[in-house]
Structure formats: C-alpha cells, structure tokens
Amino acid sequence: MKHESIDRAKLHHYVGGQKVDGRSGRFGDVYNPALGAVMKQVPLASEQEVKQAIQAAADAFPAWSATPVGRRVQVMYNFRELIRKHMDELARLVSSEHGKTIEDAKGSITRGLEVVEFCCGIPQLLKGEYSASVADGVDSWGMRQPLGVCAGITPFNFPAMVPMWMFPVAIACGNTFVLKPSERDPSCPLRLAELMTEAGLPENVLNVVNGDKEAVDTLLTDPRVQAISFVGSTPVGEYIYHQGTAHNKRVQALCGAKNHMVVMPDADMQQATDAVMGAAYGSAGERCMAISVVVSVGNEPADALLEKLTPRLDALKVGPYTDENAEMGPVVTPDAKNRIESYIDKGMEEGAILVRDGRGLQIAGHELGCFVGATIFDHVKTDMSIYREEIFGPVLCIVRVESYEEAVRIVNEHEFGNGTAIFTKDGDTARDYCNRIQIGMVGVNVPIPVPMAYHSFGGWKRSLFGDHAIHGPEGVRFYTKLKTITSRWPSGIRAGAVFNFRQGGEH
C-alpha cells in the first residue's frame, strides 16, 4: 500500500553488498505490534529492481561457484561468530517488528544459527562418490555442483530463522542468492545480509529485495533463477510451486499446518500440560509447528488437561517484548489480530465451547497493541472451520474421540501433514503411531518435533509442495545437481576398437 504522506523511517534493499534505496515509489507498513502503530516503511521492489538483484547474483555466480569449498565455509565460520556477537541486536529487531518476546526471538535465531553451523561441515556432503575400474580401464564418479541463482521467499513469523534455513545452505553449496523476506518484518533479514558481507562474502552473492506479489512473480518467471525456496501459507505456496515449476525451476514450498497432539489416557498429564503451554501459545501461536489441536482419547485426558491448563493460562503473562516478565507477546499486525478474533467468533457460532476467551485483551500503556489472549475451545468437531483451517494464533482446539483408532483416522484425514505428537507411556502405541501416521514430522512426548539442522524439515500432504525438505542433507540435494563422469584414459597397454561395454572389462 502506498503511504507517501506518512513520515516513517524508511528501510532499503541490499544489493551488491550495500544498502540500496527503493525506487518504485511503493511502500509497505512495518508495525511495532506491541504499540499497534506503524514505525517503519519498507520499499516494495518493482520488477526492474528485482531483475537487477537477479543480474547481480548471476554475475557473481561463476566466480563464487569456482571458489574452493573451504573458502566458502570460512565465510560461514565468520558469519556464525558475528551472529553470536550481535545476538541481542538481532533479537531486538525481530521482537520490535514481529512482537515475540526477546527470549523467543533469541531461541529462533539460535535454531537458524544451527543451520549455519551445519554449513560449516558441508564439504562432507559435497564429496561425491567414486568407483574405480567399473570396466577395463574405466573409472566412474559423481559430483554435486551448484545450480546458479537461487531465491528464497520467507514468512513473517521467523524473520531470522527461516532465511538462515535457506541462504547459508545455498551459498555454501556454491550458489548465489536473492532473498525476498516478509515485508512485515524485514529489518533482521537485511541485517543478516550486512553481517554476511562483514563475514567476507563477496558482493552480489547474497542480495535482499523487499516486495510483494510483483517481486515474487518476477522471481518465479525470470529464467536466470534456477530454484525457489518458500515458507508460508498453503494457498501462496501452491501458487509458487505451480508457477515456479511451470517456468522450469526447482521449488520447495513449505506450507500450512494444523498440528495435532494426541493425548492417551496413560499420558503424564503434567508433562502434557507443560507441552501444550509452550507449543500452543509460544510465539503467540504464530508458527507452523504450533500445536493447535489436542486430540483426547477418551474424556479423562481432556478433563485432566483442562484442570491443569486453565489456571496456567489465567496466570500467563502477556505483554510487549520490552517487559522482561512477558511470556507471550502480541500478534504481528492489527489485521492478524482481527482475523484471529474472527475465528474465535466463528468457533462460538459453530457450537464449540469457549473455555478461555482471548478477545479484547488490552495491556496498560499498550492499549492499541495487537494482543490476543490465550484461547481454548473444547468439544470441537472436525467439520468446524476452527478445526479445519489454520488460525495462526494463540487458539487451541480440543477434540474428544472414543478410541486411539479414531484419533489416528482424523489426524490422517486432515489436509495438512506438517507435524504431530503423541503423549503416552506405552512404547507399542507410540511405535504404531509413528509408523501409521501420515505426517512429515512426529514427536513422541515431544510437542514440537522440529528436526535438528543436520536432519531435514518438511511436512507431507498440503504442507509441502516439491520433492525436497529444507536444510540438512535434503537441503544440500535441493541446492545442487548431480553430475556423473565416466573416464578412460588411452594407453599403449590396451588397443583395438570396443563395440560393447560389459562389467568386468570383458570385450
């Protein structure tokens, strides 16, 4: 949206190792969610501005891809130390634009840092394979080579972590990169790009352009871009997947979720309560791995959970990131607050029982802030919109089922397949659940089963479009292509024409 009359701090793009002012004349609002006020404006790049960033990355690719992997990795070592040095600064940037608490922001940056650390060991995954004497005097080997210009389109909920799931892996593999962060909280991604330059990354290898659909469509259609990584909502992710692949690009699109936590009658209820508190209400529920549905097998787990959970919610400290005692911050914008509260309205209309209502929450001194309190619906049915759709806020639905088999069925029938968890003391039940559930990431007595950086992150069904999960070994495979070489050197030892090719070198 264009707001030329508003005098706000103006952000920039980052191309060629330096800040670049926007020239499109279009700007987006960047809120401080705790105040509910626009504090900055971010330029929304034109097609031409995005193409210039792509060209910068294309120009840098030949030299960067030819740079020995040890030198590329050294940049990652330097970048790691700079992130650690600037952790407090980066966390404040995240919290001031996203709203999450400082500790939550630091935790998310640390998870991104783990991927940077993984990249420091990436030569191990780029070694390739070698087979000597596959035939008489013939050797064969494979190597993984970079693709070229890659692009990342990242969401507002993790403005540091998700970009660091993408560009460090791509760059360590020898690619160059164009990042299009969320226009809602772009300051931290811009700062990360500056730190990469400070770490020794050559100019043009990493470029950041802020923008909206015009920028996205340019990345999707420009033939110089070889691969697109995306994290965000399912409708947008599906669009990016189909448009990107239609233009002959590799695409990994990690999308929406409705993560179920199955609670068995034998579960440790104190452990389950602690898990729900963090998994449902951490980061105000604005994360794709949040637990948004508890499936109670029988009535007893639901009753016991509510008995323990409701007083915890009543004592939950909601406030701005500047309050050191705050346990949950605001949601990202007034529009997000209104959307979440409309889902609470809808849940009541559909007949779910509202146990705790987070609407209308006001914090002293922050009356216009985008705060939504912790909310619980009980006796939710699977045909309700609050069950079917991703709310992306601090709203928990409790579904009561009669049997374990019914729990498995409703989890498998949901269109999303990002993450799930089961809480039980029975190993056989847990093993069966892990084997049968049609979900990409599963936790056993672990509510948010996000893999470590040396594994890969990705869901199933409509939570992931594309063939590769993100970071870890899958990320390396996504950002490289396999080349296989078969070689025979002529010598005086063997002579004569060869008309066939048999194992063992028999001619």
Of 227, 194, 232, the residue nearest 213 (C-alpha): 232
Could you tell me if 347 and 384 are in contact, meaning their C-beta atoms sit under 8 angstroms apart?
yes
The rounded radius of gyration (Å) of the Cα atoms in the chain is 25
The H or E element that residue 403 is part of is none
As to burial, measured by CB atoms within 10 angstroms (0-12 exposed, 13-18 middle, 19+ buried), residue 405 is exposed
Of 189, 227, 223, the residue nearest 209 (C-alpha): 189
What backbone phi and psi angles, to 5 degrees, belong to 411? -65, -45
Bridge partners of 231? 254
Residue that the structure tokens 């034109």 belong to? 46
- Which sequence positions are flagged as catalytic? 288
Strands 250-254 and 464-465: antiparallel
Bridge partners of 181? none
Query: Who's near 76: CB < 8 A, 6+ residues apart?
Result: 116, 119, 120, 122, 168, 172, 199
Query: Who's near 376: CB < 8 A, 6+ residues apart?
Result: 306, 309, 310, 313, 354, 355, 356, 395, 396, 398
What 3-state DSSP class applies to 251? Answer: strand
Of 108, 110, 111, 106, the residue nearest 91 (C-alpha): 106
Q: How far apart are CA 205 and CA 219, in angstroms?
A: 16
Query: Who's near 409: CB < 8 A, 6+ residues apart?
Result: none
326: amino acid identity, one letter: A
